[in-house]
Chains A and B, each alone.
Chain A
Amino acid sequence: MGAATGAVGLDVDRDVYRVGVDPGSPYADAVEAKPALTAVPAEEATLGSTADLLVREVRTDGGDEPVGVIVRTVDTPKGEAAAASFEEAVEAHNERLMAAEPNGTTAFPVTVTLRYASRGSTFEDGQTLGEISGTDDGSGDGETDDTGSDGGGADGGSSETGTVDGSVSGDGGSGGAGDGGDGDVVSDDGSAGTGGDGGDSDGGGDSDAGGSGDGVDGGNADSDGNDGWWPFGTDDGPGGLAVPSIGGGAFGADLTGSPGSITPPFPFASLVLAFAFLVPMNFLTQAYGSSVLDERTNRRGEPLLVTPLSPTEIVAGKTLPYVAVAVAVTSLIALVVGGGAISVLAVLPIAATFLGATFVGAVFARSFKELTFVTVAVSVLLTSYAFVPAIFTNVTPVALISPLTLVVFDLQNESVSVGEFLFATGPTAATAALCFGLGLGVYREEDLFTQKPVTRKFLDALAVRLSAVGEGVRESTPTGIAARLPGRVRGLVAVAFLTACTIPFVFVAELLAVAVLFALPVTVSIPVLLVVIAFVEEVAKSVHLYAGFERGVFARTDRVALAVGSASGLGFFLAEKATAVVQAVGLTELYVGRAAFGSVAGLTGLPPLVLAGLFLAPLALHGVTASLSAVGARRNRTFYVLALAAATLLHAAYNFGVVSVHG
């Protein structure tokens, strides 16, 4: 439709409203500049018939200069719309006139320069998961000596608020402590700023209903009660749903200008270029998946399995050419768009995950029809996972869950710390490795060349990694480390290890949940998130137990169920704690790092016994819930589903309790 209208020169937005205006009036220029408006000579215009709106300037008797203007519209919705459009036209006209003014100081007495920095970590009512208090309230290190309680964090003011002219800095806020920026002020007259003076609410942001003292924080600094440059969830007031804004105008992220013209940053150019890195992946997965499935359906791969090569070597040999292509294409794209080594290194885990997920799909799929579904699903999900968070690269640290965010940083010539790099790429790389590991579990004759349903192959892939537990079950030949362990221990260690291996999947799934939910108000997103996280973790702890019972690796007794459930809970607990290693690389300095890995903040000063209890409480939780699921799994699928639901609810209740206690 758009192409068609464009081709015939139609513009549905043109000349919608007729405005009666004197051709000599300055308002005529504003009307002319607005495509939706068409000017009609005021003398000939009749309201309601030949005009939707009339503009008449009021002059004193004999005077040439107008002293005012009267705008009349018909009392209809169209009349109201015409008035609104006319108002926009006049405002835009004024902006243009001021922009054309050679004396900028006269036109724009207030200039704001933005400087973005990291933000704090705590939530406030009405905020979204991506919105952090104490940062955009402008409080903190303003030079004024406010003593009121503005609720701001100590370091907030120095964050994104940047520079403001002292004359407009800060707004009152509920505690009257809205202070200015950090004194990094650039005023148009060249004088240094003086920092904010709390309570003065002219110009920039003013007090909002939330009560936190808003400084003119460099962002929108708008006059509609919204605070800060953070664009999310405030238009509807606290608790309302809001689609994250990614900036106005032509995706501009002006760093200098009048408060009204400044928009949030949106790395449009970098993002488009970063997307170019993802496009080849979709073709790569098609070729790779077809190749793997072709060997299966035509049994061309069977002779390879008879050679001395291990399945890992065969798959590596099959995959490496595609990895090489990915590296070459990524490097070429980086060369073209101006990316560096960071871009290439960041895209590789994405490529590996594309290939890993496709490999699993191709090993599980029974036909090219199923493979098509798999590759499309992989492409959509991974492209979304990589691309959507990257949109918010300059807005929120949540963006760092995607390696593509690093590419955007790289294209913007921004530095990336080791911690950020590991945080963004680690889960993706681990997920890729686990995808290949899962597929390799069934990379054997009995599964590759049979037409088992995907679910059965999935269970096979899990069960093959387990060892027998209980009496009367078959013990397959143990290999590797498992061969060195006593029989009874071997099975439980295998369970714990397999559970631990799911941590990257869990981590990525939970981050994805955070990314999906963070635009929602906290009152909605937190409960949903806690339940989702509980479900993800319970599935991770129990699905292989179900596979073990279904495939006869575990004896179907409650005793065995409790044993493997406890082992699974222990494995999950240890793996979860092992992620604390990220603190060593500073990931918890990131907001999402803290959200993902937890924090021990606030626990200091507690008695050792209490600390030990708090430390071990998750172990008890994971053990109990995994055992519950295992007891259901040892009976049949229906019981497993019911037990899993119960375990999820129990886990979610625990999560709610922890959140409530910690606030």
Chain B
Amino acid sequence: MIEVAGLEKTYGDFSAVVDSTFTVEEGEVFGIVGPNGAGKTTTLKILAGLIEPTAGEARVAGYDTTEPAMRHHLGFLPEESPLYEEMTAISYLRFFADLYEVPRSVADERIERALDRLDLDHRDRRLGDVSKGMKRKVAIARSLVNDPDVLVYDEPASGLDPVTTNSVLEFTRELRAAGKTVVFSAHNLYHVESVCDRVVIMNEGRIVARGTVDEIRERHGETTYHVYTDVEPEAGANEAETDVGDAEAADIGTAEEVGDRYRTVVPSMDAVDRVRTAASDADGTVVDIRTREPSLEDVFLDLVGRPMPGRRRGGGSDADEDGDTPEGRVRDGDRRERAETSTSGGAE
């Protein structure tokens, strides 16, 4: 449904999008994530025909995005949704339906259906007098008045309260179920993970990862093991035995006291064994081992190289036992830690 090949967009000396290539299948929700300035919005605007690419090609529903005919098959939701505030929701949506030359009876039916599904109240109130969430819903309804095959949504849940956000995300899933193709960008990676079938991660104009969320996590993420011991493992305990020196010893890392236990985060099962040995040398034992799979955010941060403020990875010293940062920056959905192995006094 969407084919992008060698897409580039430059502004003078600045490259907003560099050699971007991807395809989106019919009925798929496709996510584009990346930090600010990564080229997400530029890519979406090229797909919407708002911006002409400097090089490469983008085709939507079989049309080049520079062709006006393409727009009949496209619904676009920009990051912001300022509306004509003197109009009511109904008159505003009818106005856009007229621009798409949708017959009035058909338009009214579509508008009614969309507004019903989006739980939009106050349809006859001036848009200047309704809440931001309502305006966003009207903007979403606007993207549907021409019954497009492809929907391009830029940050659809931006600035909305959780209830409205969930409503929008659920509506996106319904669009997929209805056979629509949705290209979706978001800063909130949980939204992307929860809605998108496939994702590309962009950084500095380039696509740095692509695939399903699981594929990306598998390909680019790093599983870590949280080894809980009842004593602090002796970091140099294995040195003579393994004869691997400081490097491997460092693999064990520094144990962190968590309650009455010590947690050591290591990247491999070999390292888990070394922690186990070190604990044993200290007359202790491993009481619990948990594997932690990377979230999309972890992968994202690894790829774009921009750790979030106040968050360190690996040692997790800012995190409590459940992995939450003191500021609570990591959401529930970001945690994929599970007790793969739980050994109570499982020392060999």
Contacts and interface: CB of A to CB of B under 8 A. Distances in A.
Interface of A: 298-300, 302-310, 444-446, 474, 476-477
B312 interface: no
Contacts of B48: 306
A662 B69 CA distance: 58
Given A300-B84, A446-B51, A309 B78 contact: no
Nearest to A298: B82
9 contacts: A299-B78, A302-B78, A303-B139, A306-B50, A308-B69, A444-B51, A445-B51, A446-B11, A477-B66
Contacts of A446: 11, 51
Interface in B65-124: 66, 68-69, 71-72, 74, 76, 78, 80, 82-84, 96, 99-101
A617 to B, nearest CB: 41
Given A300-B83, A303-B78, A303-B142, A445 B68 contact: no
A235 B69 CA distance: 70
A476 B76 CA distance: 24
Contacts of A444: 50-51
A308 B82 CA distance: 20
A477 B51 CA distance: 13
Counting chain B CB atoms within 10 Å of each CB, the highest count among A302, A306, A308, A477 belongs to A306
A306 B71 CA distance: 6
Contacts of B100: 307-308
Contacts of B80: 299
Given A303-B76, A304-B99, A309-B99, 11 more contacts: A299-B78, A302-B50, A303-B96, A303-B139, A306-B49, A306-B74, A308-B72, A308-B101, A444-B51, A474-B54, A477-B52
Nearest to A448: B50
B45 interface: yes
Contacts of B142: 303
B45 to A, nearest CB: 6
Given A298-B82, A299-B78, A310-B68, A305 B50 contact: yes
Given A300-B84, A477-B52, A307 B45 contact: no
Give the interface size bracket for B toward A.
Answer: 20 to 34
Interface of B: 11, 45, 48-52, 54-55, 66, 68-69, 71-72, 74, 76, 78, 80, 82-84, 96, 99-101, 139, 142
Contacts of B50: 302, 305-306, 444-445
Given A308-B72, A445-B45, A477-B66, A299 B82 contact: yes
A445 B48 CA distance: 11
A372 to B, nearest CB: 22
A585 B80 CA distance: 54
Contacts of A309: 99
Contacts of A304: 99
A310 B68 CA distance: 8
Given A299-B80, A302-B78, A303-B76, A308 B99 contact: yes
Contacts of B66: 477
Nearest to A304: B99
A477 B101 CA distance: 27
A306 B145 CA distance: 13
Contacts of B49: 306
A80 B45 CA distance: 82
A476 B71 CA distance: 20
| 9 nearest A-B pairs in the assembled complex, by CB-CB distance | A445-B50, A306-B76, A298-B82, A307-B99, A308-B71, A300-B82, A302-B78, A308-B68, A306-B48
A298 B83 CA distance: 9
B97 to A, nearest CB: 10
A444 B78 CA distance: 15
A475 to B, nearest CB: 10
A302 B41 CA distance: 13
A127 to B, nearest CB: 54
A34 to B, nearest CB: 64
Given A298-B82, A299-B78, A307-B100, A476 B52 contact: yes
A307 B49 CA distance: 10
Contacts of B52: 476-477
Contacts of B74: 306
Nearest to B10: A474
Contacts of A474: 54-55
Nearest to A301: B82
B48 to A, nearest CB: 5
Contacts of A307: 71, 96, 99-100
Most central of A310, A445, A474 by chain B CB within 10 Å: A445
A7 B48 CA distance: 68
A299 B85 CA distance: 13
A308 B71 CA distance: 5
Contacts of B139: 303
B346 to A, nearest CB: 60
A302 B55 CA distance: 23
